[in-house]
């Protein structure tokens, strides 16, 4: 199989061909694209589900004949989080993560400094920071290139937490590795583990999520379970007592999706409303106040009525986003760095619209920034028309805005389209990073 090494190209790049280890950019003529905007996209905590050609039904043949589904990333690279082997060089534009192609899912820990990939069939890889064993390779050595997480197979979902990672296997069990001092591994212990351990007492799990120091699981009966740090009520069980084994989040049924924020949890219900619990000093629970909650409360809009028609919810660093049924985005919580995208640095304890965002298909929340995939063309659902918009802090280049340092914005208080990749399938964010699956046309 031929391998391509990255090389410098000029304006007009519109596609990438990738080999198993190296990627290159192919010159094209698509208007508004620039080769520099394909480079260096990454930072802390990412999780990627890979499917090789055979798993998606592609026939055998040269790799360059098929969409590589390359993972791209931008941001800080202090611990090798870009996955390109060039630590500690920061990336201010999208660029390829080495080895990672044929990706079908990405997920990033909001506050962590690590990255994970899920490789066919259900194998997990990781790279970046590893001080607590969060790469799961049995060491505490940082990795600037992906390494295999041993002992895991048949994994259908991975999720990053602060410095902990979680994997959901096809048998409905949950596994965790990394930091465990607050019980966030869920195995009954309060020590770190550099290899995966099983979360106790969880079966029939259909979705997982990671918070700053807590884990979350949705079971097939629509209930939610949580474990780890509970100082602010982020386990939602009515107490502030941390636990090293899962407890049920009180009063939650009919849940279809879950997400973890820095110190809060979020759940989307079948009726399209959102419940939140945990810390609320920046209004990140969206219930109209600033009082920590040990049990779930409804997220409300400006009229103080429950937010409805929600399709997706995601928690970040003291703020959260909801993707609504009409393709718009609502935000609440901390706003000092532009995280709410409404032009103001003020916090908001209620969900408010993010102006200028329509036809959105996916959202992501990082430690200090937000991201959305927006349909930019006449063909709904066409990956080639999906572009990235970003807002919030750009202190580490995590917005992917390619500008000279003297003109590079420190913060964006309103969404701006990220120049470059247009063929984007999914997006995720870490503390000071963002990640996307890029499908060349």
Contacts of 31 (CB under 8 A, 6+ apart): none
Place of tokens 């849940």: 255
Q: Indicate whether 115 pLDDT > 80.
A: no
Report the alpha-carbon distance of residue 184 to residue 210 in Å, rounded.
Answer: 9
| 195-209 average pLDDT score | 97
Reported as a single tens digit per residue, the pLDDT across 378-406 is 555 445 589 999 999 999 999 998 766 66
Residue 278 confidence (pLDDT): 99
Categorize the per-residue pLDDT at 441 as very low, low, confident or very high, splitting at 50, 70 and 90: low
Residue 402: how many CB atoms within 10 A of its CB? 22
Q: Which residue has the higher pLDDT, 139 or 65?
A: 139
CB 239 within 8 A of CB 215: no
Whole-angstrom Cα distance, residue 347 to residue 349? 7
pLDDT value for 124? 82
Over range 330-344, report the average pLDDT.
98
Per-residue pLDDT, 64: 40
Q: What is the mean pLDDT of residues 10-27?
A: 26
pLDDT of residue 404: 63
Q: How confident is the model at residue 54 (pLDDT cuts 50, 70, 90)?
A: very low
Mean pLDDT value across the chain: 82
**What percentage of the chain carries pLDDT values higher than 70?**
78
Q: Which domains does the chain have, with CATH numbers?
A: 109-250 (2.130.10.30)
What is the mean predicted confidence (pLDDT) over 77-84?
A: 86
Phi-psi region of 21 (alpha: psi -120 to 50; beta: other; left: phi over 0): alpha
- On the question of pLDDT at 29 being above 60, the answer is no
Q: How far apart are the first and last CA of the chain?
A: 21
Position 439 scores a pLDDT of 79
Q: What pLDDT is stored for residue 59 in this prediction?
A: 30
pLDDT bracket for residue 341 (50, 70, 90): very high
Comparing 29-33, 259-263, 387-391, the range with the smallest average pLDDT is 29-33
Cβ atoms of 250 and 237 within 8 Å: the answer is yes
pTM (2 d.p.) = 0.84
- pLDDT at residue 30 in the model: 33
Confidence of residue 101 (pLDDT cuts 50, 70, 90): confident
């Amino acid at each position: 199989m031929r391998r391509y090494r990255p090389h410098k190209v000029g304006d007009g790049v519109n596609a990438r061909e990738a080999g198993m280890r190296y990627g290159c950019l192919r010159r094209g003529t698509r208007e508004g694209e620039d080769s520099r905007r394909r480079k260096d996209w990454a930072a802390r905590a990412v999780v990627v589900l890979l499917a090789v050609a055979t798993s998606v039904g592609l026939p055998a043949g040269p790799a360059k004949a098929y969409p590589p589904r390359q993972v791209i990333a931008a941001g800080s690279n202090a611990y090798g989080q870009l996955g390109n082997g060039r630590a500690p060089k920061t990336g201010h534009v999208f660029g390829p993560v080495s080895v990672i192609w044929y990706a079908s899912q990405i997920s990033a820990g909001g506050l962590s400094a690590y990255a994970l990939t899920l490789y066919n069939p259900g194998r997990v890889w990781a790279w970046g920071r590893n001080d607590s064993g969060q790469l799961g390779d049995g060491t505490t050595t940082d990795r600037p290139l992906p390494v295999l997480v041993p002992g895991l197979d048949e994994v259908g979902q991975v999720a990053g937490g602060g410095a902990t990672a979680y994997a959901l296997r096809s048998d409905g069990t949950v596994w965790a590795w990394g930091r465990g001092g607050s019980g966030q591994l869920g195995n009954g212990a309060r020590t770190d583990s550099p290899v995966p351990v099983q979360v106790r007492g969880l079966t029939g799990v259909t979705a997982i999520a990671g918070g700053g120091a807590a884990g979350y699981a949705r079971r097939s009966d629509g209930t939610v379970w949580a474990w780890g740090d509970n100082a602010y009520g982020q386990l939602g069980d009515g107490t502030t007592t941390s636990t090293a084994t899962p407890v049920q989040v009180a009063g939650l049924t009919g849940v279809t999706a879950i997400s973890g924020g820095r110190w809060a949890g979020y759940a989307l219900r079948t009726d399209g409303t959102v419940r939140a619990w945990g810390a609320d000093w920046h209004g990140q629970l969206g219930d109209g106040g600033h009082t920590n909650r040990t049990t779930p409360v409804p997220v409300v809009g400006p009229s103080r009525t429950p937010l409805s028609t929600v399709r997706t919810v995601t928690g970040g660093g003291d703020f959260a986003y909801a993707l609504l049924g009409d393709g718009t985005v609502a935000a609440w919580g901390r706003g000092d760095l532009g995280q709410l995208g409404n032009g103001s640095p003020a916090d908001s304890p209620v969900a408010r619209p993010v102006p200028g965002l329509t036809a959105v298909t996916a959202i992501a929340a990082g430690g200090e920034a937000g991201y959305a995939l927006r349909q930019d063309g006449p063909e709904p659902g066409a990956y080639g028309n999906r572009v990235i918009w970003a807002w919030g802090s750009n202190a580490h280049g995590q917005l992917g805005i390619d500008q000279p340092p003297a003109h590079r914005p420190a913060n964006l208080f309103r969404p701006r389209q990220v120049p470059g990749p247009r063929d984007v399938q999914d997006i995720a964010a870490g503390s000071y990073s963002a990640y996307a699956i890029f499908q060349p046309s």
